[in-house]
Structure 1
Amino acid sequence: MANFNIDAKQDMTYDAIVIGSGISGGWAAKELCEKGLKTLVLERGRIVEHVTDYPTMTLDPWDTELRGSLTPEQKAKHPKGIRSGFIGANNEHFHANDVENPYTEVKPFLWVRAHQMGGRSLLWGKQCYRWSDLDFEANLKDGHGVDWPIRYNDLAPWYTHVEKFAGISGEALGLPQLPDSHFLPPMELNCVEKHVKERIEKEYNGRNMIIGRVAHLTEPINGRGKCQFRNRCDRGCPYGAYFSSNAVTLPAANATGNLTIRPFSIAQSIIYDDESGKATGVRIIDSETGEFMEYHAKIIFCNASTLSSTQILMNSTSDRHPNGLGNASGELGHNLMDHTYRVGAMGKVPGFEDQYYKGRRPNGIYIPRYYNLDEQTKTDNFVRGFGFQGSGGRAGWGAGSNQENFGADFKDGLMKPGPWEFFITGFAECLPNHENKVYLNKEVLDKWGQPTLSIDAEWGENELAMNKQIRKDAKEMLERAGLQDITDFDNEHEMGYGIHEMGTARMGRDPKTSVLNGNNQVHGANNVFVTDGACMTSSSCVNPSLTYMALTARAANFAVSELKKNNL
Structure 2
Amino acid sequence: MAPSPTAFQPDAIVVGSGATGGVAAMVLAEAGLRVLVLEAGPDLSAREAFGSEPLNTARRLANMSSGKQRLQRHHPGFWKHNPNLFVDERRNPYSTPDDAPFLWSRGRQVGGKSLTWGGITLRLSDHEFQPGQGPGWPIRHADLDPYYTRLEQLLGVHGGRDGLPQLPDGHMLPPLPFTPGEAHLQSRIGRELDLPLIHSRGFNLHRGPGWPRSASQGSTLARARATGRTLVRSHAVVSHLVLDGERARGVVVVDGATGAREQITAPLVVLCASTIETLRILLHSSAAHQAGGLADPSGSLGRYLMDHISSSRFFSIPGVEAPREPMELSGAGSCFIPNTVNLAPDNATDFQGGYGLWTALQRFDPPALLQRRRGEAVGFLIGHGDVQPKADNRVTLNTERPDAWGLPTAHISCRWGENEQRLVAHMHRRMEAVVAAAGGQIRAIEDLFVLPLLEPWIRSSLAVGADAPPPGYYIHELGGARMAATPDEGVVNPLNQCWGAPNVLVVDGACWPRAGWQSPTLTEMAITWRACEAAVSRLRRGD
Percent identity, please: 34
1:49-71 C-alpha deviation (Å, 9 max, x unpaired): 3x353452xx344xx38667522
Residue 352 of structure 1 and its aligned partner are, at CA, apart by: 3.1
Classify 1:469/1:93 alpha carbon distance in 2 versus 1 (closer, same or farther; 3 Å): same
8 Å contact kept, 1:505–1:535: yes
* 1:108 aligned partner: 101
Secondary structure of 1:172's partner?
A: coil
Secondary structure of 2:237's partner?
A: strand
Classify 1:270/1:67 alpha carbon distance in 2 versus 1 (closer, same or farther; 3 Å): closer
Matches within 5 A, 1:234-383: 238=209, 240-274=211-245, 277-318=246-287, 325-343=294-312, 345-352=313-320, 355-362=323-330, 363-379=333-349, 381-383=350-352
**Paired residue type of 2:342:** N
**Whole-Å separation in 2 of the counterparts to 1:385 and 1:73:** 35
Alignment of 1:179 onto 2:168: yes
> More deviation in 460-469 or 68-77?
68-77
**Paired residue type of 1:30:** M
| Equivalent residue in structure 2 for 1:208, among 181, 196, 200 | 196
Alignment of 1:532 onto 2:508: yes
* 1:93 aligned partner: 84
**Paired residue type of 1:494:** P
Classify 1:74/1:560 alpha carbon distance in 2 versus 1 (closer, same or farther; 3 Å): farther
Secondary structure of 2:422's partner?
A: helix
8 Å contact kept, 1:162–1:553: no
1:275-329 C-alpha deviation (Å, 9 max, x unpaired): xx21111110001111101111111101111001111011113599869624232
* 2:416 aligned partner: 459
TM-score, with length taken from structure 1 = 0.86
Classify 1:539/1:121 alpha carbon distance in 2 versus 1 (closer, same or farther; 3 Å): same
**Paired residue type of 1:108:** P
Q: How many residues align?
A: 520
1:164-204 C-alpha deviation (Å, 9 max, x unpaired): 11221100111100001111111111011001101111123
Structure 2 gap segments, 5+ residues each: 445-463
| Equivalent residue in structure 2 for 1:14, among 10, 16, 39 | 10
8 Å contact kept, 1:14–1:297: yes
Residue 512 of structure 1 and its aligned partner are, at CA, apart by: 1.0
**Whole-Å separation in 2 of the counterparts to 1:394 and 1:91:** 21
**Paired residue type of 1:124:** W
Classify 1:485/1:427 alpha carbon distance in 2 versus 1 (closer, same or farther; 3 Å): closer
Residue 72 of structure 1 and its aligned partner are, at CA, apart by: 5.3
**Whole-Å separation in 1 of the counterparts to 2:291 and 2:470:** 32
TM-score, with length taken from structure 2 = 0.90
* 2:121 aligned partner: 128
Classify 1:317/1:423 alpha carbon distance in 2 versus 1 (closer, same or farther; 3 Å): closer
Residue 490 of structure 1 and its aligned partner are, at CA, apart by: 2.9
| Equivalent residue in structure 1 for 2:48, among 53, 61, 68 | 53
Secondary structure of 2:78's partner?
A: coil
8 Å contact kept, 1:110–1:497: yes
**Whole-Å separation in 1 of the counterparts to 2:317 and 2:153:** 37
Secondary structure of 2:309's partner?
A: coil
Matches within 5 A, 1:77-88: 77-88=68-79
Classify 1:394/1:101 alpha carbon distance in 2 versus 1 (closer, same or farther; 3 Å): closer
**Whole-Å separation in 2 of the counterparts to 1:536 and 1:17:** 22
**Whole-Å separation in 2 of the counterparts to 1:84 and 1:323:** 40
8 Å contact kept, 1:471–1:489: no
Structure 1 gap segments, 5+ residues each: 217-226, 231-236, 402-413
Secondary structure of 1:541's partner?
A: coil
* 1:156 aligned partner: 145
**Paired residue type of 2:5:** A
**Whole-Å separation in 2 of the counterparts to 1:561 and 1:66:** 48
**Whole-Å separation in 2 of the counterparts to 1:181 and 1:391:** 22
| Equivalent residue in structure 2 for 1:437, among 374, 378, 394 | 394
Residue 83 of structure 1 and its aligned partner are, at CA, apart by: 2.6
1:340-395 C-alpha deviation (Å, 9 max, x unpaired): 1124x44322213554442433232111000011123222x111110001111178
* 1:170 aligned partner: 159
Secondary structure of 1:372's partner?
A: coil
**Whole-Å separation in 2 of the counterparts to 1:267 and 1:72:** 26
Alignment of 1:478 onto 2:478: no
* 2:356 aligned partner: 387
Secondary structure of 1:175's partner?
A: coil
1:418-455 C-alpha deviation (Å, 9 max, x unpaired): 42123212111000110000100111111111111111
